[in-house]
Structures are given as structure tokens and as C-alpha cells.
Amino acid sequence: MRLRPVALSLLLIAVPPALADSVLREVSVTAKGYAADELETAASTLSLSRDELLRRGANNPGEALRGEPGIAVASDSAQGQNPVVRGLKRESVVLLVDGMRFNSAQPAGAIASFMSLGLADRLEVVRGPASVLYGTGALGGAINVLLPQARFEAGIHGRAAAQFDSASEGVRGTAVVNASGGDHAVMVGASVARIGDYREPDGEVDDTGYDSDSYIGQYRFRIDSANELRVSMQQHTDEDVWYPGSTRPHPSPAIGETTVHSPWQQRTLVEAGYSRKGSGEAPLNLDLRVYRQEMERRIFARAYNPAGTDIGDIARTRVSFVTDGVDARADWLAHPRHLLSAGVNAWRMEASPERLLRSPPPNPAAPYVRNDPFSDGKIEALGVYLQDDMRFGALGVLAGLRHDTVSGEADAVGNPPVTTGLARTDRMWSGSLSAIYEATPLLRPYVNLSRGVRAGEMRERFEASPRGDGYFYVGNPQIEPETATQFELGLKGANNDFDYSLAAYRTRIDDYITGLDISGTPAAVAACGAPNAGACKRTVNLGRVTLTGLEAQGRWQFASGQWASAALSMVRGENEDLDEPLFQMPADELSLGWEGRVAAGWTADATLRLVREQDRVATVFARGTEDETPGFATADFGVTWQGKQQRVRVALKNAFDRRYHEHLAEGVSGQEIKAPGRSLMLAWQGEF
């Protein structure tokens, strides 16, 4: 029998965690837009609970997802850990918090790090095009971080956590409190982190420390048993963040290199919403929200002379990306075999960056000169979708269709300013059709055909200025949108002793958007001007790229309370325009693990991560900026004590102190920043 979303959610709450782990499967709200059994979903999904996030001791979503099948991490710092899904980077993955998308043009760092993972209740991932629900940008998939919600539980309840790791001597503290009485519920939470420069086997990695503070709050008012109002607030602040992976030689002979840093950056979100929970034989559920999100950043480029002496900032950019949005979603059990859902999503993002430049060599006494990359940039999106979740006995079918209109414009670009040809509107269709069949609980084959879309983001459209990496960038206001078509075959299954998933896919992307290095070519003079032609990048469309991959993961309870696990990830990217491997593809990797009870209240675990060398690199497109990466292996060990309301964990990460970097680590070819070395992690979590 197929459980309705509301009933399934209530069942999960009612069953004790230990029993739920062995009897019930994972539920995702991101894959279908409402709570749905992952084993009945014809797509590749991943969910990490709060306990699993604590076990991993991650500071941000990228770090938490490292090693998962189909997911890699592109890093330029300890804070800047960008998840890469099936070979597609941050521009092609929609990042959400509580279902609201993060909007920002991100030249450095990780937009996914603009919230504290210590506060998260859950992290969910959908691999593969997810544009039907999430619109433009969801070619690679969607990542949703779910934060605590105010609950109608009488009295005051709360939880707290603390964490320390020896590699960075970093500490984090988190607390969430929920208070409820009658028809009112309030939740407040805070998480504070002080992260130092971490150590790799050969010594400390400079400029990898930072401070962050995160606060959340929500008030809910229950009008009656079916209707609720809510007001939510989130704020996250980072200070003194440096991006050592951005360090690049500078074309001026007076400057040796530059490094991007952010002395201060902040995300603030305010949301007001209404929800209705349906009842009866054909329940209709509604959720409406309006929100404003501001991403404020200070993005500076510090210069060093050829001798390595700090000579001050050569560029300072201050920008606020302000997004106003409206979401309306509904799901209706119109028929026992048809759960219909529909939605309207509209948002408008505005930005007008202020950039100040100093001519090299920087002189502390010299004034900055205003040189804005663009002014009054705007992107507006309106999407409408309809989805039908059908059930015919053991066969489940999901069909969805969406239309998006995305418009971009700016008042002026560059200096001297260009004021014409800056507006573009794209109308795009996306869709999906998938089916899954339950032959037995352990054998559920599925097929998924989906189409995703992505219009150019603000930086790709309007950028026209030098950046801290030493290149002059020129955008393209008339850039064509990408379209991705994916065909996926998969298998899933689970019982009390074994669960697994397997997926093979092929994705074709037309009009692939990328930044092409055209330095030193005749085209560079026309695009960037003669003074910048030696270090010039231009936003372009490639005709076609293809991605082919395989993902597999499984767990087996080989003895009572003893679980073995394995996970495999492989992806191949091809640049068909240039007949070479696609730039910056993740390396193949295999993870092997064990977790089991070792004493009353105690469990232990071990994970071995084996990453193959990456020798399939771009040569023509990359022009020497992508080097081969040696393979590596790391081992992590941990023990956890679980009491009635407390949990303590001790873990040793990178236990054998291996020196390595991920293939997608940023940095000058051959000088990428190294990953942390051996680190002892201590973590505590309690409830009251």
C-alpha cells in the first residue's frame, strides 16, 4: 500500500529511531516536493540525518557530502567547499535552504557555506536534472538543507552540540530551543564557529581559518487543526575568509601574485508563510510563502610583490545580491492512483557591485579608482509546473512538466560603460518522465528521462572587469541557455539486512555555458581590450558536452548489529566541440566501510576511501591549467557512545596523515591547496 505523504511523515515521527532505521526507509521532501519514500522514487537520491551529519563532523555541505557516489567537491578554501553533482559545478546545481534557493553570483567561496550545518536537521540531494521542481540551474540536481522548524510540543525542549578538531584547532557550538503552548510555537537557534588555519602533513596551510556565526528563528501560529501561519528568519555571517585556491600570478611585473579574500560576508533571509494540511479521502495540501534574501559580500584581492611581501589590496568589491521571491505549492490526492502537485515560483535578484581598483604596484597612499563591472543588474524568473505521481499496483510513474521565463538586464556594463544589448529573455521548457517497478522489496528497477535548463547567471551575463585571479573577465548578456537531457537506468532495494542503489546515466548538454581562456589570441583584444589581452576570459556557449556515469552504494548487515558498506562513483565527461575530456571531471572513487556495536551503548566505525588518479584532463580548452592528479587513499576511524539523551563521538580523520588534494581543488596547476592531514575530532550532542 502506498502511504500518503502526511501519513508517512507522521509514521516516521511515531516510530523510535532504532526501529525506524531497521524497518522504515528514508523519506525525501526534495525529490518530489513533498515527503516521499526514496525507494518509491525513480531517481538517484541521498539523505543525511542530523545524527549522520554529527558523525561526519562536517562544517559545510560540501564537506559533508565528500565521498558520496555521484558527488565531488570543488574547493578553494576550508570554507569554500562547493558540491559538484555528476560532474556539474555550482552554477548547475540548485542549492536550497528549507526549499528556498540561494541566489548569488559567486566568484569565490561556496554559496552552500552561507549557513551553519551545525543547525541542520537534514541534508537531501537529488542527482540529475531537477528543473521541473526547481527551475533554472538544476541541471546537475538539487541540494536542500533542512533547518529546524517550530514544533507544537507543549513545554520547552532543546538540543545543544559542541565540536573540536585538532587539524584546525577549530571549535563549534550549537544550540536550538523550541517552546510551545496552545496554538503558539517558537524556535530559536544559534551556531558559532571559530576555525583556525588547518594543518596538512607538511605543515600549516595559510589563510584557511575563518569565523562564522549563524542564527535562526521561527514563530508558528496554529489557526486551527488544518491551517497555520509562520514567520522565519535566518542570518549567517563569516569573517576573515581567505581563498588560497584563488592565488594566481599577476600579469603586472610589479606584482607577484594575488589572493582573493573576504573580510566580511553575510546572508539574511526573512520569510512569511501559510500552510494548509488537507484531510478526508482527497486531501489538498497548500503552502504559500514570500521571502527576501540578501547576500552581502566584501570580495577583495590582496597583492604580493615578487618577493612575497604584502602590498595591500589591488581590488575591493562590495556587493549585495537581493532576492525577493514568492512560492506557491499544492498537492492533491485527486484519485487513489493520482497525487497531483502544482506550483508557481517567482523571484527577482538585483545587484549593483561597487568595485575599486588600484593601479599596480599598489600604494597605500594612492586612492582607489571606481571601476564597476556592471550597474543595476537584474534577473527575473517565473516558473509554473504540474506533476502527477501515479501508482498502478507495483508500478509507480511520475510525470512532470514546467515552463520558465527568465529575463536579465543591466543599466550598464564595463568601463567605459556599454548600455545597449544588455537585455535578454528566455522561455524554456523542462520535463521528466520516470517509472519504478517493485518486483520484490529488494528488486525495484527504474527508468528516468528528464530535461533540465539553465539560463546564464548574473556574472556570466554582465561581468566586465579584472578579478583577483589575474584575469580580465568579459560576460555575454546574450548567452544562450543550456539544456540538459538525461537518460538514467537504476535499481533499488532494501530489507532489514540489506539495502542498495545502482544508477547508470548519460547526459547530453547543449549550449554548455563556460568561461573560455582566450588570452593572447586576436579575439582577446576585441573582447578584453589590448591592455588585458594577455589574461582574458570570455563567457561562451559550447555546442555540446556529454556526461556518462555510474553510481552504486550498498549496506549489508552480515551479523547482528554489524554493517558493511561500499560506494562507487565514476563519471566521464566529453567536450565534443574540441574532441577531448571535459574540463575538471571528478576522479573515480570507491569507499569501503564498517559500522557495528562493540559494547552496550557503544558503536565503532571505519571508512576507507580510495580515489583513482585522474589522467583524463582537458588540454586544448584548459591551455595548461588542468594537471593530472595522483590517486590517494584515506582512512577514518571513530567510536560513538549513545545515551538516552546524549551522544559523544571521537573520530580520527585521515588517520595515516596522507598528503593529497582532490582533483577539483582550485589553485595554480601543480600547486593546488592540500587537504587537512590527520585530525582528532571530539563531538558531543545532547537533548533536554
Find, among 271, 225, 76, the residue nearest to 664 by Cα: 76
Instruction: Count the residues in the chain.
Output: 688
Q: Judge whether residue 16 has pLDDT over 70.
A: no
Average pLDDT over residues 205-218: 94
Q: Judge whether residue 10 has pLDDT over 50.
A: no
Average pLDDT over residues 518-533: 83
Tell me how far apart the alpha carbons of residues 245 and 663 are, in angstroms, rounded to a whole number: 12
Residue 185: predicted pLDDT: 97
Residue 469: predicted pLDDT: 53
SS3 state at 90? helix
Q: Judge whether residue 229 has pLDDT over 70.
A: yes
High-pLDDT (> 90) share of the chain, %: 71
Mean pLDDT rounded to a whole number for the chain: 90
* CB contact at 8 A, 75 and 62: yes
Give CA separation, 581 vs 111, 354, 481, 546, 547, in Å. 27, 38, 22, 10, 10
Instruction: Compute how many other C-beta atoms are within 10 angstroms of the C-beta atom of residue 222.
Output: 16
Place 155 in a pLDDT band, splitting at 50, 70 and 90. very high
Place 3 in a pLDDT band, splitting at 50, 70 and 90. very low
Residue 25: predicted pLDDT: 64
* CB contact at 8 A, 160 and 134: no
Q: Judge whether residue 172 has pLDDT over 90.
A: yes
Residue 425: predicted pLDDT: 97
Range of weakest confidence among 18-32, 214-228, 617-631, 632-646: 18-32
Provide the residue ranges of all domains of the chain, joining segments of one domain with +: 5-687
Q: How far is CA 246 from the centre of its chain?
A: 20
Compare 144 and 90 and report the one with higher pLDDT. Answer: 144
- State residue 566 phi and psi, 5-degree precision: -150, 150
Exposure string of 550-568, with b = 16+ CB inside 10 Å and e = fewer, is: bbbbbbebeeeeebebbbb
* CB contact at 8 A, 538 and 518: yes
Residues in contact with 464: Cβ distance below 8 Å, sequence separation at least 6, in sequence order: 373, 374, 413, 414, 415, 418, 473, 474, 475
Find, among 44, 226, 224, 20, the residue nearest to 130 by Cα: 44
Q: Judge whether residue 675 has pLDDT over 60.
A: yes
- Residue 660: is it exposed, middle or buried by C-beta count within 10 angstroms (0-12/13-18/19+)? buried
Topology of the domain covering 5-687 = Maltoporin; Chain A (2.40.170)
Tell me how far apart the alpha carbons of residues 333 and 4 are, in angstroms, rounded to a whole number: 8
Compare 463 and 680 and report the one with higher pLDDT. Answer: 680
Tell me the pLDDT tens digit for each residue of 433-473: 999 999 999 999 999 999 999 999 998 899 877 665 567 88
- Residue 449: is it exposed, middle or buried by C-beta count within 10 angstroms (0-12/13-18/19+)? middle
